Amino acid sequence: MTPEEIKRYFEATPLPEEVELKPWAKITDSQLFLKSCFLTIYHYKGDLEMCPAWWHLKEFYTLVRRGSKETKSENQTE
């Protein structure tokens, strides 16, 4: 998985406005969060795996994908 693959996914998928990343961390503006992550990753000079913005982006991606799969399965059972 690369930042470009995640960016393409989010360009093709509607974002939820709010996402609870952790019990103590709630994202209230998904677009701004993504913009911040991608800018930080772009300007990061070290190993991508050591970039905190990359960690947060991957976690956000996983949560949004999980949420969209749950929504699809709920719609199919109705």
For residue 53, pLDDT beyond 90: yes
Q: Please report the sign of the dihedral spanned by the C-alpha atoms of residue 27, residue 31, residue 36, residue 38.
A: positive
Taking the whole predicted model, whether its pTM rises above 0.85 is answered as no
pLDDT given for residue 74 in this prediction: 53
DSSP annotation of 14 reads P
Q: Which stretches within 1-78 are classed as H helix?
A: 3-12, 30-43, 52-77
Q: How far is CA 16 from the centre of its chain?
A: 10
Indicate the residue type of 13: T
Q: What is the mean pLDDT of residues 13-22?
A: 89
Q: How far apart are the first and last CA of the chain?
A: 33
